């Protein structure tokens, strides 16, 4: 299948980066504040460097967009661009909560063609090539059936839930705290949870890999206004994300659709 070489190199790079992240989680790391007051650790930077070195040495003509690298407008002229979140869920990493992950996608003509999300704490590497379906640790992920006996599970940020933004879903869903949107998207793609929703700003690197995993699993994903996602844009940011798994009950999908106008 096309792009298998890219996926193989990506898998190797992500496992190397995950090993280093776990080593630093054990040995110790430094934490500083970015200008926007969000935390970044020496592990974020180390993972970013491993990915940058391995991927661009293998594919030197590709562009690069990462949360932990200065944005270079040259990427907009590239045919292909790697979109990278070295550690999504940095706060989870700092607090040793096993929900941080590495998220990487290869974008071609505004759409992801290869994507991977790796949780080194659980040793789960979700991958997809466009048209090739969803895989977990290189094995195909079987689709799950809708369980009508249980309330569907939706991942929400604790802050948005506290504000009552999703109060309309309280009586019909179970809520799962969202510490990493990339990891929540991976869990949605494989059907462990039913949906992810936020109307807060999200960046391309937060969701590029997850978007491919979702679509390759048969689920759906849009921005917070219900528009399709495109990538490698001059301003790599969305106003929210709504994603559903392939086994999401129609009732939850419909309830989420009713909330969309409130975000626009």
Q: Which of these ranges, 35-39, 89-93, 235-239, has the smallest mean pLDDT? A: 35-39
Quickly list DSSP for 149-185: TS--EEEE-HHHHHHTTTGGGTTT-EEEE-S-HHHHH
Give the range among 42-56, 72-86, 126-140, 144-158 with minimum mean pLDDT.
144-158
The percent of residues above 70 in pLDDT, for the chain, comes to 95
d(CA 226, CA 256): 10
pLDDT of residue 150: 84
Query: Is 145 a residue whose pLDDT tops 80?
Result: no
* Residue 56 parent element (H or E): helix 42-58
Tokens at 153, concatenated:
């599970």
CATH 3.40.190.80 corresponds to the domain 153-263: yes
CA-nearest of 169, 165, 160, 185 to 251 is 169
User: Which residues lie closer than 8 Å to 176 by C-beta, 6 or more apart?
Assistant: 153, 154, 155, 156, 184, 193
Predicted pLDDT of residue 37: 86
pLDDT averaged over the chain?
94
> pLDDT at position 260, please?
84
What's the sign of the alpha-carbon dihedral 97, 99, 105, 111?
A: negative
Question: What does the domain layout of the chain look like in residue ranges?
Answer: 4-140, 153-263
The answer, yes or no, to whether residue 261 has pLDDT greater than 70, is no
3-class DSSP assignment, residue 245:
coil
pLDDT tens figures, 19-55: 999 999 999 999 999 888 889 999 999 999 999 999 9
Residue 2 to residues 129, 132, 156, 173, 252, Cα–Cα distance (Å): 8, 10, 35, 40, 35
Q: Regarding the domain delimited by 4-140, which CATH topology (the fold level of the hierarchy) does it fall under?
A: Fructose-1,6-Bisphosphatase; Chain A, domain 1 (3.30.540)
Per-residue model confidence as pLDDT tens digits over 240-251 = 999 999 999 999
Lateral strand order in the sheet of 124-129 = 63-66, 80-88, 101-108, 111-119, 124-129, 134-136, 139-140
How large is the greatest C-alpha to C-alpha distance in the chain, in angstroms?
A: 52
Give yes or no for a contact between 209 and 183, defined as CB atoms under 8 angstroms apart: no
Compute the radius of gyration of the chain from its Cα atoms: 17
């Amino acid at each position: 299948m096309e792009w298998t070489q890219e996926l193989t190199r990506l898998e190797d790079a992500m496992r190397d980066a995950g090993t280093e992240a776990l080593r630093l989680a054990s040995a110790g790391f430094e934490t500083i504040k970015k200008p926007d007051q969000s935390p970044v650790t020496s592990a974020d930077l180390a993972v970013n460097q491993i990915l940058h070195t391995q991927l661009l040495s293998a594919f030197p003509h590709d562009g690069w967009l990462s949360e932990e690298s200065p944005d270079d407008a040259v990427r907009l002229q590239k045919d292909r661009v790697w979109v990278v979140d070295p550690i999504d869920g940095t706060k989870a990493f700092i607090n040793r909560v096993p929900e941080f992950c590495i998220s990487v996608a290869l974008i071609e003509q505004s759409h992801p063609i290869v994507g991977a999300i790796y949780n080194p704490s659980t040793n789960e590497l979700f991958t997809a090539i466009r048209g090739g379906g969803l895989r977990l640790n290189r094995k195909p992920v079987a689709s799950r059936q809708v369980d009508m006996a249980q309330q569907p599970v939706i991942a929400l940020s604790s802050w948005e839930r506290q504000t009552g933004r999703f109060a309309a879903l309280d009586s019909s869903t179970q809520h799962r705290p969202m510490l990493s949107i990339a990891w929540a998207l991976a869990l949605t793609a494989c059907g462990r949870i039913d949906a992810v929703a936020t109307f807060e700003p999200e960046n391309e690197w937060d969701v590029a890999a997850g978007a491919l995993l979702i679509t390759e699993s048969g689920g759906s994903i849009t921005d917070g206004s219900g528009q399709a996602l495109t990538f490698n844009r001059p301003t790599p940011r969305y106003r929210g994300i709504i994603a559903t798994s392939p086994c999401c009950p129609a009732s939850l999908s419909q309830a989420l659709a009713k909330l969309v106008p409130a975000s626009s």
